[in-house]
């Protein structure tokens, strides 16, 4: 029978509080690599928590079991950023324009373009309503975490990040910030201020918000590349000037006429931003 959170719960519940770390050790040491790899967040958290219930003593056996759990669980530190976040978003959003235009490169070019345009105060840490490498704010995060958009993949990303950090410490375990340790369920934070300082989470939110903008910019007759250009313009807060340019040119589909009109109005840096990001 495959190792599951339910089986782990029953085995731990049958032991006294002071012996649950021993039971957790036995479960971890007796499991195959595949079984540990396939454990969900609840199963991993139950074992993690039990390894700290040793009556005040965190033994070398506890530590050894923790290291195996950390090494062989599915919750490993993310190294391929921002590819990881982009991959989660694209898996959840099969639209053709998102699949062809959203990329790790698009995210990193957003970061470069925003960094280039930081104010003096922002460069020394005095942020306004937008923060981080992607210069997003609470409204964008609200959109990303909405069930209409990317709530489920955001939860997957947060679970991976939070558990990887907790497990990798190899120290005596306690409560895991971000999880309800009575239900072993993730509590998605309501505030972007709790998210953007983690690079992996910020990568995901930026990628997801770009996907939202790409989806909104998708229009009949509009090319994939122009869809990305309009999406990035709106990401950068250019909606009002873009709409005005569209009204003037009478073209609501193509980017080139809008770009020319924006330049004629003196919005050369706004146009440069879009061209720096979309290639």
* pLDDT over 90, % of the chain: 87
pLDDT in the model for residue 126: 56
Nearest of 202, 164, 209, 222 to residue 81 by alpha carbon: 202
pTM to 2 decimal places? 0.94
C-alpha neighbours within 13 Å on the C-beta side of residue 190 = 0
> 72: buried, middle or exposed (CB in 10 Å: 19+, 13-18, 0-12)?
middle
CA-to-CA separations, 187 to 71, 138, 159, 162, in angstroms, rounded: 25, 17, 10, 11
What pLDDT band is residue 119 in, cutting at 50, 70 and 90? confident
Between CA 279 and CA 269 the distance in angstroms is: 16
User: Which structure tokens are listed for 174?
Assistant: 């306690």
User: Which structure tokens are listed for 11?
Assistant: 């085995």
Domain-by-domain residue ranges, the chain? 5-74, 83-157+190-277
* Residues ≥6 apart with Cβ < 8 Å to 127: none
Instruction: Tokens 């290639």: give the residue.
Output: 279
User: What average pLDDT does this structure show over 148-168?
Assistant: 96
Q: Are strands 185-186 and 179-180 parallel, antiparallel or unpaired?
A: antiparallel
User: Which structure tokens are listed for 7?
Assistant: 């089986």
Over residues 193-210, the pLDDT tens digits come to: 999 999 999 999 999 999
CA-to-CA separations, 49 to 41, 137, 176, 189, 217, in angstroms, rounded: 12, 34, 9, 22, 46
Over residues 11-60, the pLDDT tens digits come to: 999 999 889 999 999 999 999 999 999 999 999 999 999 998 765 678 89
pLDDT in the model for residue 171: 61
């Amino acid at each position: 029978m495959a190792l599951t959170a339910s089986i782990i719960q029953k085995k731990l519940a049958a032991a006294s509080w002071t012996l649950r770390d021993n039971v957790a050790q036995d479960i971890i040491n007796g499991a195959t690599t595949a079984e540990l790899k396939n454990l969900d967040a609840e199963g991993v958290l139950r074992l993690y928590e039990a390894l700290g219930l040793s009556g005040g003593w965190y033994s070398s056996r506890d530590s050894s079991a923790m290291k195996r759990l950390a090494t062989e669980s599915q919750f490993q530190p993310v190294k391929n950023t921002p590819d990881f976040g982009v991959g989660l978003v694209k898996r959840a959003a099969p639209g053709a324009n998102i699949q062809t235009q959203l990329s790790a490169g698009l995210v990193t070019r957003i970061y470069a373009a925003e960094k280039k345009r930081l104010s003096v105060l922002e460069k020394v840490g005095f942020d306004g309503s937008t923060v981080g490498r992607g210069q997003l704010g609470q409204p964008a995060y609200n959109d990303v975490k909405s069930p209409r958009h990317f709530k489920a993949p955001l939860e997957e990303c947060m679970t991976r990040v939070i558990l990887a950090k907790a497990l990798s410490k190899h120290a005596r375990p306690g409560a895991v910030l971000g999880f309800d340790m009575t239900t072993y369920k993730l509590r998605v934070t309501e505030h972007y201020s709790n998210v953007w300082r983690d690079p992996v989470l910020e990568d995901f939110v930026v990628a997801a918000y770009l996907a939202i903008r790409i989806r909104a910019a998708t229009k009949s007759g509009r090319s994939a590349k122009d869809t990305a250009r309009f999406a990035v313009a709106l990401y950068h807060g250019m909606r009002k000037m873009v709409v005005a340019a569209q009204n003037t040119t009478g073209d609501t589909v193509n980017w080139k006429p809008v770009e020319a009109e924006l330049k004629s109005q003196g919005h050369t840096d706004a146009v440069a931003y879009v061209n720096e990001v979309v290639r």
